[in-house]
Amino acid sequence: MVKIDQATAGPPPCTIEYTDVPNGSPFYPYIRCLACRNIVGGYDNGDGTLSFRPGNNVTRGQVAKFVANAAGYTDDIPTTRQSFTDVPPTNTFWLFIERAYAHGVISGYDNEDGTFSVRPNANVTRGQMAKFVANAANYTEDIPATQQTFQDVPHSSPFWLFTERAYAHNVISGYNCGGTGEPCPGLYFRPNANVTRGQTSKFISNAFFPNCQTPR
């Protein structure tokens, strides 16, 4: 019998596969990287297989969960804590939202009565996603005010700093000019477009697991 050195055997293969994310698809390595680390999940197809729906939008609640898991937040949150009026402890994403909020990753919206809401069911834009990831990854470098990588993210944009930081760390990329309202030449980020589940997986994987290699 051959004795296996457990110190060098490495992690066991990951068997998670999604029917709509085949090997070779643009988001395959990022989705697999996160799925095999229990950071993202899928949808039961009812026949024993799973789908990921990479083209679907993601909500603020879902992103809070993905980012909190990727960042390794394990804070104990008192069950009496409720930072946002629309996220009670019974909410599926309450724990992850509270953890992300405690780490300064997310913020809320002011209500007229002085409270905050986080709108957990609202879709997340690419600009917001850049902010979530840059904050969670603790990117703090100074960016010259004259720097503008993307034609549609000027210094006056609320997401300029986070987008530039994420780009500097190779977390995000952009689109070549040619889309609606995109004069050439130029590189565009489309910060107001909803971010998809596939794109979200890429952003998070690049930020927390660069060059991720998942055992097959």
Is the pTM higher than 0.85? The answer reads yes
Beta strands in the chain (DSSP E): 43-44, 50-51, 109-110, 116-117, 175-176, 187-188
User: Domain check: are 135 and 165 in the same one?
Assistant: yes
Question: What tokens does 25 get?
Answer: 């698809």
Extract the tokens encoding 140: 């703090």
| Residues 129 and 190 both lie in one domain | yes
Give the whole-angstrom CA distance, residue 211 versus residue 197: 19
Q: Which of 123, 151, 174 finishes a domain?
A: 123
Tokens of 153: 């993210």
Residue 105 lies in a domain: yes
Domain final residue, candidates 123, 148, 180: 123
Please tell me whether the peptide bond between 185 and the residue prior to it is cis, using omega within 30 degrees of 0.
yes
Please report where in the chains the tokens 């530039």 appear, as a residue.
164
> What percent of the chain has pLDDT above 70?
94
Distance CA 6, CA 9 (A): 5
212 lies in a domain?
no
| pLDDT at 126 (0 to 100) | 97
The domain in which residue 84 lies consists of 57-123
Extended beta strands in 36-156, E state = 43-44, 50-51, 109-110, 116-117
Number of domains in the chain: 3
Predicted pLDDT of residue 2: 46
Residue 188 dihedral angles phi and psi, to the nearest 5°:
-125, 150
* Residue 162 pLDDT exceeds 90: yes
Whether the pLDDT of residue 161 is over 50: the answer is yes
Claim to verify: residue 71 and residue 143 sit in the same structural domain: no
Q: Do residue 95 and residue 38 come from a single domain? A: no
Q: Which whole number is the average pLDDT over 193-204?
A: 97
Q: Which residues are within 8 A (CB) of 123 and not within 5 positions of it... i.e. 6 or more apart?
A: 57, 58, 59, 60, 194
Name the average pLDDT for the chain.
93
Are 70 and 105 found together in one domain? yes
Give residue 10's pLDDT. 57
**Mean pLDDT computed over 89-98:** 97
